[in-house]
Homo-oligomer: A and B are copies of this chain.
C-alpha cells in the first residue's frame, strides 16, 4: 500500500505528507478572524455565500492553472471509478465558472457570490510554500460595468481594513490587460515569443527597477550570480516606449491615464483599456477609495492567459520582520481581475466577470509579523485540579459553574499528581487553577491560583517583592464566591 520505508518495528512513521501543515489554535484563530471579517464585508455588499465541492472534473478545470502547460500538471488528479478524471480545485474561480455555466438560467443576474475554502496545488513544497491553502474570493458574474470592478476593489480595501491591516501597510495596484496589448502594438512587437519576453520584463519592474527592465528589453541581463537572461531585443525607440509605459504609474489615477494615452493611445485595444480604467477610476471615487489606496500601475501583469481586462494586485509595502527578527517581504496578499472568457468555455457565450481573491495565509502571516494582528496566544481554560477520585463530582461542579458564567474551564482528567497538573495548566496557558482540597471542601472554601502572575514572575516581567503586597499569587475565598474570585484573577492577567 505504501512504499515508504517503515521503522524496523513495521509500524508506519507518523508524519504529515510533504507540503501539508498541521495548525493549532492560535494560527486557526487568526485565520478565522480574517475569514469572518471579510465575509461580513462581502455580505454587506450583497454577495451571497457559495461552496462547491473539493473535486471538479478535470476537463471542467481546463488549462487555466497559472503556469501549467500540461493537463493535470500542478493539480492533484485521480481517475474516478467510472474512468473520468477528477482533480482537486486549485482555486475558487474555475469551480465558480462551472457552477455559473451549470445553473445560469436560475441565477439572479448579475450573480454575486463570495466563497472561502481550501485549494490545492500539486507543486514542489518549500519554506512557506504549501500544497494546501485557503482562498477567500468575491466575484461578480454578469456585469461588464466598470463599477463592478471598482466595487470589487472597494470590498478588497474594506476587507483588508476589517481584517486589521493598516491602510498604509499595503497598496492595491490596478492595470488593464488591454493596455499591455496596446503597448505591444505601439512598440511594434508581433512575434509571440518576443511579446512574452516584453511582458516578463515589464513584470520585473518591481524587483529590477527601470535599468534592469531596460536590459531585459534589449540584449539581455546578467544577474548577481552571473546567470544571463536573454533580452527581448527590441529597437531603441520601442524600448523607450515600454519604459515610458512602465514609468507612467507615478501620481494620481487621472495623471497616469494621461501619460499612458501619450505612449500607447491610438490603437483600438489601448483606447478601450484606457476608457475602461477611466470608468474604474470614476467608480473608485464614488466608492470613496483614495488615490493612495488604489493606484494604476502599468507594470502589473498577472496570469497571462487568464485575465481579459482590468487586473488587481494587493501588495504589502515596506519590510516586516519574521519570527527570527529577520527582515522579510510578503509581496502579494491578494489579487484578481476581469476574466470574461471563463464561462464561455462551457457555454460558448461570453459572460463578463470580475473578482478578487484574498491570500488568507499570507495576510495572516503579514498581520502577525506587523504586530498589528490581535494574535492573542491561544489561552487555555481555567483548570480545576483533581486530587481525589471520590471528589470528582465536586470538581466537575466547579468547572460547570465557571462555564455557566462564561469562563472556559475543565477538570484535569489525566492520571498525574498536583505538580504535573500545574505544569499542564501552565502549558495550556491557562489563566488560573482552582484548588479544592479536603481542607477547602471541609471549610466551604476554594483556592484560586493566578497562573499568569507565575508566568510573569518566571519571565522577569513582574517584580517578586511588589506582587506579594499588591497582587497575591493565590486567593482563598468562600465557595460561594468562586466565580467572582476567578473573574478577578482572570481579568487582571490579560
A261 at the interface (CB under 8 A from B): no
Q: How far is the CA of A394 from the CA of B193 in the complex (A)?
A: 47
**Contacting pair B78 A49 (CB below 8 A):** no
- Contact assessment for A428 and B3 in the assembled complex, using a CB-CB cutoff below 8 Å: no
Chain B residues, Cβ within 8 Å of A324: none
User: Bound state CA distance, A122 and B78, in angstroms?
Assistant: 12
By the criterion CB–CB under 8 Å, are A12 and B410 in contact?
no
Assuming the contacts A50-B22, A80-B18, asked whether A44 and B403 have C-beta atoms less than 8 A apart, the reply is yes
CB atoms of B14 and A346 under 8 A apart = yes
Question: Does the CB pair B98–A45 fall under 8 Å?
Answer: no
- In chain A, residues 1-56, which have Cβ atoms closer than 8 Å to a Cβ of chain B? 1-4, 6, 9, 11-18, 20-25, 28-29, 43-46, 48-56
Is there an interface contact between A59 and B118, defined as CB atoms closer than 8 Å? no
Bound CA span A378–B43, Å: 11
**CB of A112 closer than 8 Å to a CB of B:** yes
Contacting residue for A1 out of B71, B109, B383, CB 8 A: B71
Q: A12-B346, A22-B50, A400-B287 are in contact. Are A108 and B427 (CB under 8 A)?
A: yes
Take A22-B51, A54-B120 as given contacts and tell me if A59 and B1 are in contact as well, using a CB distance cutoff of 8 Å: yes
Residue of B whose beta carbon sits closest to that of A21 = B53
A392 touches B147 (CB 8 A): yes
Residues of B within 8 A of A49 (CB): 24-25, 28-29, 378
Q: Which residues of B contact A450 (CB under 8 A)?
A: none
Do A283 and B392 form a contact, CB below 8 Å, given A2-B59, A4-B59, A15-B102? yes
Residues on B with C-beta less than 8 A from A126 are none
Q: Which of A229-237, A294-302, A411-419, A456-464 contacts B (4 or more CB under 8 A)?
A: A411-419
Contact residue among B102, B410, B415 (Cβ-Cβ distance under 8 Å from A45): B410
A331 to chain B, nearest CB (A): 24
- Name the residue on B nearest A107 (C-beta): B427
Cβ of B12 and Cβ of A57 under 8 Å apart? Answer: yes
- Say yes or no for A470: interface residue by CB 8 A criterion: no
With a CB–CB cut-off of 8 A, which chain B residues contact A288? 400
CA distance A315 to B363 in the complex (A): 42
Question: In chain A between 139 and 192, which residues have their CB closer than 8 angstroms to a CB of chain B?
Answer: 140, 142-145, 147-148, 151
Q: Does A306 contact B (CB under 8 A)?
A: no
A446 sits at the interface (CB 8 A)? no
Is there a chain B Cβ closer than 8 Å to A69's Cβ?
A: no
Q: Which of B2, B52, B98, B142 contacts A414 (CB 8 A)?
A: B142
Instruction: Give Cα A126–Cα B378 distance, bound, in whole angstroms.
Output: 41
A149 to chain B, nearest CB (A): 10
For A415, list chain B residues within 8 Å (CB): 143-145
Q: How far is the CA of A347 from the CA of B148 in the complex (A)?
A: 56
**Total contacting residues, chain A, CB less than 8 A:** 106
Contact B147 A46 (CB under 8 A): no
A285 within 8 A of B: yes
Smallest Cβ distance from A471 to chain B, in angstroms? 25
- A372 on the B face (CB < 8 A): no
Among A83-91, A196-204, A217-225, A436-444, the stretch in contact with B: A83-91
Chain B residues within an 8 Å CB radius of A57: 2, 4, 12, 15, 17
CB closest residue in chain B, given A62: B12
Contact with B along A97-114 (1 / 0, CB 8 A): 011011100001110100
Q: Are B414 and A109 in contact (CB under 8 A)?
A: yes
Contact check: which of B18, B28, B84 meets A4 at CB < 8 Å? B84
Does A53 contact B17, Cβ atoms closer than 8 Å?
yes
Interface check A397, CB cutoff 8 A = yes
- Contact present for B408 and A98 (CB under 8 Å): no
Q: Once the chains are docked, how many angstroms separate the CA of A122 from the CA of B143? A: 38
| A396, CB-defined interface residue at 8 Å | yes
Q: Contacts A51-B23, A59-B4, A408-B45 hold; do A413 and B151 have CB atoms under 8 A apart?
A: yes
Whether A408 touches B25, Cβ cut-off 8 Å, given contacts A286-B396, A424-B109, is no
Given contacts A22-B52, A43-B408, A54-B118, 14 further A-B contacts (CB under 8 A): A1-B71, A11-B345, A12-B62, A14-B60, A14-B98, A14-B347, A15-B57, A16-B53, A17-B55, A18-B82, A45-B409, A54-B54, A108-B427, A285-B393
Sampled A-B contacts (5; CB under 8 Å): A11-B347, A25-B50, A45-B410, A108-B428, A147-B413
List A residues at the B interface (Cβ < 8 Å).
1-4, 6, 9, 11-18, 20-25, 28-29, 43-46, 48-60, 62, 71-72, 76-78, 80-86, 88, 98-99, 101-103, 108-110, 112, 118, 120, 122, 132, 140, 142-145, 147-148, 151, 282-283, 285-288, 345-348, 378, 380-381, 383, 392-393, 396-397, 399-400, 403, 408-411, 413-416, 424, 427-428
